[in-house]
């Protein structure tokens, strides 16, 4: 399950959280650069060690890319 509604319009930041049984096992954030690089989003993500290799990180990254693209991203720096 993803909670991805967190989006700060002014700072252009998207935060995604992977939840299972009300516990956080992974998250990602995408932050829009400013000025001349405002078309670029910087994305980072993390997944708890015991939940790696299950596609969670890939899902977080893909959703971050899709949401960034919807907000005008042309390039993403991972």
**DSSP string across 55-70:** SHHHHHHHHHHHHHHH
- pLDDT per residue as tens digits for the range 3-42: 545 555 556 788 888 888 888 899 998 888 878 877 777 8
pLDDT at 46: 95
Grade residue 54 by pLDDT with cuts at 50, 70 and 90. Answer: very high
What is the Cα–Cα distance from 67 to 10, expressed in whole angstroms? 16
- Position 1 pLDDT exceeds 60: no
Neighbours of 26 (CB within 10 A): 21
- Position 49 pLDDT exceeds 70: yes
Question: Residue 37 half-sphere exposure, CB side, CA atoms within 13 Å?
Answer: 10
Name the CATH architecture for the domain at 2-77: 3-Layer(aba) Sandwich (3.40)
What number of residues does the chain have? 78
Grade residue 65 by pLDDT with cuts at 50, 70 and 90. Answer: confident
Phi, psi at residue 25, to the nearest 5°?
Answer: -120, -5
User: What residue spans define the domains of the chain?
Assistant: 2-77
């Amino acid at each position: 399950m993803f909670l991805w509604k967190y989006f700060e319009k002014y700072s252009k930041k998207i935060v995604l959280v992977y939840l299972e049984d009300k516990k956080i096992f992974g998250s990602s954030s995408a932050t829009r650069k400013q000025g001349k690089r405002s078309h670029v989003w910087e994305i980072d993500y993390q997944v708890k060690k015991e939940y790696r290799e299950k596609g969670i990180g890939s899902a977080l990254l893909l959703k971050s890319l899709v949401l960034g693209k919807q907000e005008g991203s042309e390039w993403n720096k991972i």
